[in-house]
Amino acid sequence: MCHTGAHKINNTIGQILLAERLGKTRIIAETGAGQHGVATATVCALRGIECIVYMGEVDIKRQAPNVARMKMLGAEVRPAKSGSRTLKDATNEAIRDWIDNPIDTHYIIGSVVGPHPYPDMVARFQAIISKEIRMQLKEQTGQEIPDHIIACVGGGSNAAGALYHFLNEDDVNFILVEAAGKGIDTDHSAATSVLGTHGVIHGSMTLLMQDEDGQIIEPYSISAGLDYPGIGPLHAHLIKTGRAEVHSATDAEALKAAFELTRTEGIIPALETAHAFAILNERKFENDDVVVINLSGRGDKDLATYISHLDRY
Amino acid sequence: MTNNKINRVFEDKNHKVLNIYFTAGYPNLNDTGTIIKKLASAKVDIIELGIPYSDPLADGLTIQESSQKALSNGISLSMVFDQVEEIKNDHKTAIVMMGYYNQFLQYGIDKLIKRIGDSGVDGLIIPDLPMDHYQTHYNSKFEEAGIAISFLITPETSDERIKEADRLTSGFLYVVAQSSITGGVKDVSDQQKKYFERIQNMSLKSPKLIGFGIHNKETFDNACQYAEGAIIGSAFIRNLKEHGTDRVNDFVDKIVNC
């Protein structure tokens, strides 16, 4: 687990160096769960650069510890008040800020989404995850190549990083887990690969949740980091070509998995990450399969949600 | 070069072109046709019809709110075409549609081209459509159909890219006056003057309209020193918000006759 509690710091370190190289003096970012916001605020504190993080009003309420962290790190957290007041709207506001301030400002996007070159660049910065998987796997099993890699997907940055150095390894099976929210058949879901169709969002051509007029449909998930109406174009490609298998986990399944991981391994995962673990209750593996699950974030930020469900698990 | 109503607007070199933007389906669902007819009789040269979108990235609060209102009124692109087609014989003013790429993509490009022709719409502005993507996928189709497409440039656009936008533009070059979303009110600075003069001196083939931040006679006249005309959007939306469709004529009069 990386410093700041998720994989997000891999990307923000790379991008802050890029921003300095470009001579930028002001950083903006969007955040859903606050993990990317904290990672951005952290590198800005480290390098002494002004930092403004856009966050949906709803997410500010449900991810209070991360809001406090960002403020302590010296960042300004600006609420996004349009639309569903979650990740998509925070992204809209960040893009509008960038249009207003193109000269001094660098926009650190937190996932493998947005206009080119962001999906490519963020995937490369996160690729360190799969590089480490190969090294650690070699040490532990004698082989670099696992049978399966499992990761949760909202925009898909942790998944892109976990898959990156295996993209050309045909023997590795990719398992992506989306947030089903209250269920794929309800109006409260974020399972983009099932509910989405081909379109353009935030400068990417990919799968997205939209109506027949191309209006974006507001996604829903208990986890603030997975309720994005699109999916990184790399993942859309892997899913559409059949290279990756895709599953979804509901809010309840993710909560159950979070408590199971906590009680069996002593690790409190982020709600986002818990979706990846939920798949272990559903999908069967062979006894000798080598399965890698990307534990992308820890759950300190989600304690309030977990505590409110403590009596049920 | 296509020869539609937009191109004809620019034939009279001494006349300064006024382009007024408004959001279709706003303030009420069926105001679209009324507003078009009123703008046409007020002698507006080009009517820019905004197609409401859930996520209008280039737009400031005024246009965002009008889009939200129009969507909750129940507007859709298909309905806008119906509204425009219904009154197409009642006026002779050029109409350009402004929307986001995904709206047109979902509608279907072939269907879009057909309905543009049927309804008497003359051109398109799609701020998030990349130029190279347009060239590869749509340029020849649009040219064949005589649809005037207008690309945007900003103070940060490189000369090389400006030339590319000029080459692909068949309507007018949309000169974004300042680095901002719509409705911005940054000061008209020396820097902006230099930018306008740089564009003027590039001997581009396309007529130029300046937009973003143009909101009254003073800013309109100032912009017209550097271009064939200018575009007013958010200020007109605010007028519609306050007075409905009643004071369209007054608003236009204050810009062009004083």
List per-residue pLDDT tens for chain B, 258 residues long: 456 899 999 998 889 999 999 999 999 999 999 999 999 999 999 999 999 999 999 999 899 999 999 999 999 999 999 999 999 999 999 999 999 999 999 999 999 999 999 999 999 999 999 999 999 999 999 999 999 999 999 999 999 999 999 999 999 999 999 888 887 766 667 888 999 999 999 999 999 999 998 999 999 999 999 999 999 999 999 999 999 999 999 999 999 875
- Contact list, A86 vs chain B (CB under 8 Å): none
* Residue range A127-308, CATH number: 3.40.50.1100
Please determine whether the domains at A8-110 and A127-308 fall in the same fold group of CATH. yes
The minimum CA-CA distance between A188 and chain B, rounded to whole Å, is 18
The single residue of A8, A88, A256, A301 carrying the catalytic annotation is A8
Q: Are A260 and A277 in contact (CB under 8 A)?
A: yes
The single residue of B48, B122, B166, B228 carrying the catalytic annotation is B48
The single residue of A24, A30, A111, A253 carrying the catalytic annotation is A30
DSSP state of B16: P
ipTM of the complex: 0.93
Question: Looking at residue B181, what is its pLDDT?
Answer: 84
Decide if A214 touches B, using CB distance below 8 A. yes
CB contact under 8 A, B55 and A92: yes
Decide if B99 touches A, using CB distance below 8 A. no
Question: Looking at residue B187, what is its pLDDT?
Answer: 62
Q: Are A156 and A246 in contact (CB under 8 A)?
A: no
Decide if B53 touches A, using CB distance below 8 A. yes
Give tens-digit pLDDT for A142-200. 999 999 999 999 999 999 999 999 999 999 999 999 999 999 999 999 999 999 999 99
Decide if A212 touches B, using CB distance below 8 A. yes
CB contact under 8 A, B184 and A214: no
Domain range A8-110, its CATH number among 2.40.37.10, 3.30.470.20, 3.40.50.1820, 3.40.50.1100: 3.40.50.1100
CB contact under 8 A, B105 and A92: no
Catalytic annotation on A8? yes
- The mean pLDDT of A65-87, rounded to a whole number, is 93
Tell me the residues of chain B between 186 and 225 that have a Cβ less than 8 Å away from chain A: none
Nearest CA in chain A to B71: A215
Q: How far apart are the first and last CA of chain A?
A: 25
- Contact list, B105 vs chain A (CB under 8 Å): 199-200, 214
Domain boundaries of chain A, sorted by first residue: 8-110, 127-308
Question: Looking at residue A39, what is its pLDDT?
Answer: 98
Q: Looking at chain B, list the stretches that DSSP marks H as alpha helix, in order from N- to C-terminal side.
A: 5-9, 31-41, 61-73, 77-86, 101-107, 109-119, 131-137, 139-145, 159-168, 190-200, 217-224, 234-243, 248-256
Mean pLDDT, all residues of chain A: 96
Query: Is the peptide bond between A146 and the residue preceding it cis, with omega within 30 degrees of 0?
Result: no
Catalytic annotation on B59? yes
Q: What is the three-state SS of chain A?
A: CCCCCECHHHHHHHHHHHHHHCCCCEEEEEECCCHHHHHHHHHHHHHCCEEEEEEEHHHHHHCHHHHHHHHHCCCEEEEECCCCCCHHHHHHHHHHHHHHCCCCEEEECCCCCCCCCHHHHHHHHHCHHHHHHHHHHHHHHCCCCCCEEEEECCCCHHHHHHHHHHCCCCCCEEEEEEEEECCCCCCCCCCHHHHCEEEEECCEEEEECECCCCCECCCCCCCCCCCCCECCHHHHHHHHCCCEEEEEEEHHHHHHHHHHHHHHHCCCECHHHHHHHHHHHCCCCCCCCCEEECCCEECHHHHHHHHHCHHHC
State the pairing for strand pair B123-125/B94-98: parallel
Classified as helix, coil or strand, B82 is helix
Catalytic annotation on A296? yes
Q: Are A93 and A78 in contact (CB under 8 A)?
A: yes
HSE toward the beta carbon, residue A55, CA cutoff 13 A: 31
A133: confidence class by pLDDT, cuts 50, 70, 90:
very high
Q: Are A221 and A273 in contact (CB under 8 A)?
A: no
Q: Which of B77, B4, B78, B94 is nearest to B40 (CA)?
A: B94
Nearest-angstrom CA–CA distance, A259 and A265: 10
Which site among B57, B138, B185 would you substitute to test the A interface, given the most A Cβ atoms closer than 10 Å to its Cβ? B57
The minimum CA-CA distance between B181 and chain A, rounded to whole Å, is 6
Nearest-angstrom CA–CA distance, B153 and B174: 6
Question: Looking at residue B3, what is its pLDDT?
Answer: 61
Rounded percentage of chain A residues whose pLDDT exceeds 90: 94
Tell me the residues of chain B between 142 and 171 that have a Cβ less than 8 Å away from chain A: 154, 156
Name the residue among B57, B102, B105 with its Cβ closest to that of A92.
B57
Question: Looking at residue B1, what is its pLDDT?
Answer: 45
